[in-house]
Structure 1
Amino acid sequence: MGAEALVGLVALAIGRRLTLRAPRALRAALPTLLVVVATVGPAWWLFATRGTLDGYPGDSGLCPTSNVPPQWPAWLPA
């Protein structure tokens, strides 16, 4: 089992524990939301802060700066 799966299971357990006496809609939504935040959030953050790692086979380094679209956010590395 990978670390992501373990983080997802822990988030699910915490979400279920927090919503024991909550309304049914909240009992269904909160654990799912916590799992998504705990697994997708770090992956998105890593991509936004690191981008494609140096030496990755798919990153040839040949993409010029002029190839970055104008709508690309400045806070994302390009």
Structure 2
Amino acid sequence: RAVRELADAGACVIVVLHDLNLAAAYADRIVLLEQGRVAADGTPTEVLTREHIERVYQQPVLVLRHPQRDAPLVVVTDA
């Protein structure tokens, strides 16, 4: 909550996360890296797409909408 208040007050907040769903829940902007380079940059909805995630992580996923937040929900699949 304190970090959100700082961001809302205009402060620049940078957080490094490996949990895509946590990033989707709290970030206004996400930069997805692949081999140290920017693979996608934008809002959680723009960045956390099936195409981007599967290309970067080489893992099949479903990207749904979170039932309580207006945010993507990434689910790893087997196929």
**TM-score normalised according to structure 1 size:** 0.26
| Higher RCO (Cα < 8 Å, 6 or more apart) | 1
Bigger Rg, structure 1 or 2: 1
**Going by fraction, where is strand more abundant, 1 or 2?**
2
Task: Specify which structure has the higher proportion of helix.
Answer: 1
